[in-house]
């Protein structure tokens, strides 16, 4: 099972469990998470959701080979369903990030309510490096939380940044020593569980509602470009270079 789900003490834990591929996410993994998240919405026993990976990797983002096999072009594609689900979640979502969080591994955090990272965490938004463009409304949410210049640096250059920089930017709440990360995130989720569920729900909705429509519009706009770019020669060059373990050469494209 590449996605493990576990319900206990009011918390649904969703764990990326494909360490041999650095937890890269396939269409089947998105579908498994969509099912778990839908189930959590309708299960009153679930009062918080916790995303975790492994101590050395959160997720390397979309599985690049799967991207080519199952490009997310239709609105009902698993990745788009996943983004719709996390952007509309009514229950609080906590994430515990250790190691690499690439692409959607970082953009999914923009939809979480509390984000904790280990000191070994490394974030990256290499969409332009892959001949693609941002998704998950990150082209709107990143400038909002980090300011335009810092967001531009991360989204245009796509270079990785560490946990301390992510904290300064406002992307994460706190940097935690690696060996304490999962226990800490779990205890924060447990605090949410112990609070009145209705107050948590209404508070979350009040904080988010002013921009719910804007997030959906931005995601729809992004995915139009993203889907078209997936079959562009630039993306093909980037993906092939990744598989062949070489640097991509974009010099021949205008
Ligand atoms: N899609 C598919 N396979 C991936 C992957 C991805 N996004 N990320 C890693 N893998 C696979 C590698 O191909 C490799 O498979 P193999 O052992 O069968 O050759 C395995 O996972 C280990 O990856 P490797 O690159 O050797 O690990 P690393 O520790 O040196 O580097 C990363 C880790 C995350 C920095 C690196 O794998 C990476 O940059 N991945 C791509 C990230 C990316 O561009 N994601 C898409 C965002 S839209």
pLDDT tens-digit readout, 159-187: 999 999 999 999 999 999 999 999 999 99
**C-alpha dihedral, 224 to 145 to 107 to 226, nearest 10°:** 20
Q: Mean pLDDT, to the nearest integer, of 74-96?
A: 95
Q: Count Cβ neighbours within 10 Å for each residue of 193-228 and write b for 16 or more, e otherwise.
A: beeebeebeeebeeebeeeeeebeebbeebbeebbe
Ligand 1 test: best mutation among 22, 162, 242, most atoms within 8 Å of CB?
Answer: 22
Going across the sheet that includes 114-118, the strands are: 3-8, 11-16, 48-52, 93-97, 114-118, 174-176
Tokens 């994460």 label which residue?
A: 172
Burial class of residue 250 (count of CB atoms within 10 Å of its CB; 0-12, 13-18, 19+)? middle
Report the pLDDT value the prediction gives residue 198, as an integer from 0 to 100.
97
Ligand 1 site, residue 60, Cβ cutoff 6 A: yes
pLDDT class for 13, splitting at 50, 70, 90?
A: very high
Q: Mean pLDDT, to the nearest integer, of 114-137?
A: 98
Helix axes 78-88, 197-230, angle to 10 degrees: 150
Ligand 1 site, residue 18, Cβ cutoff 6 A: no
**Higher pLDDT pick, 71 / 206:** 206
Ligand 1 site, residue 136, Cβ cutoff 6 A: no
Ligand 1 site, residue 122, Cβ cutoff 6 A: no
Query: Per-residue pLDDT tens for 133-158?
Result: 999 999 999 999 999 999 999 999 99
- Name the residue with the closest Cα to ligand 1, atom 22: 21
Ligand 1 test: best mutation among 28, 29, 56, 60, most atoms within 8 Å of CB?
Answer: 60
Ligand 1 site, residue 21, Cβ cutoff 6 A: yes
Q: For a pLDDT cut of 90, what percent of the chain falls above it?
A: 94
């Amino acid at each position: 099972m590449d996605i493990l789900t576990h319900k206990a003490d009011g918390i649904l834990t969703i764990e990326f469990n494909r360490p041999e591929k650095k937890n890269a996410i396939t269409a089947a993994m998105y579908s498994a998470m969509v099912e778990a998240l839908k189930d959590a919405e309708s299960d009153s026993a679930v009062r918080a959701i916790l995303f975790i990976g492994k101590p050395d990797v959160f997720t390397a983002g979309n599985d690049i080979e799967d991207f080519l096999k199952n490009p997310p072009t239709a609105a009902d594609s698993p990745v788009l369903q996943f983004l719709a689900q996390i952007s509309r979640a009514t229950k609080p979502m906590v994430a515990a990030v250790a190691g690499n969080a690439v692409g959607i591994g970082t953009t999914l955090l923009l939809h979480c309510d509390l984000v904790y990272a280990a000191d070994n965490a490394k974030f990256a938004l290499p969409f332009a490096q892959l001949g693609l463009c941002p998704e998950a409304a990150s082209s709107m949410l990143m400038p909002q939380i980090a300011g335009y210049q810092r967001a531009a640096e991360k989204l245009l250059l796509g270079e990785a940044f560490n946990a301390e920089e992510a904290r300064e930017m406002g992307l994460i709440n706190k940097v935690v020593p690696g060996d304490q990360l999962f226990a800490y995130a779990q205890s924060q989720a447990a605090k949410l569980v112990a609070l009145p569920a209705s107050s948590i729900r209404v508070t979350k909705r009040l904080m988010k509602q002013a921009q719910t429509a804007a997030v959906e519009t931005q995601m729809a706009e992004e995915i139009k470009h993203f889907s078209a770019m997936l079959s562009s020669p630039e993306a093909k060059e980037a993906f092939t270079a990744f598989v062949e373990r070489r640097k991509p050469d974009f010099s021949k494209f205008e």
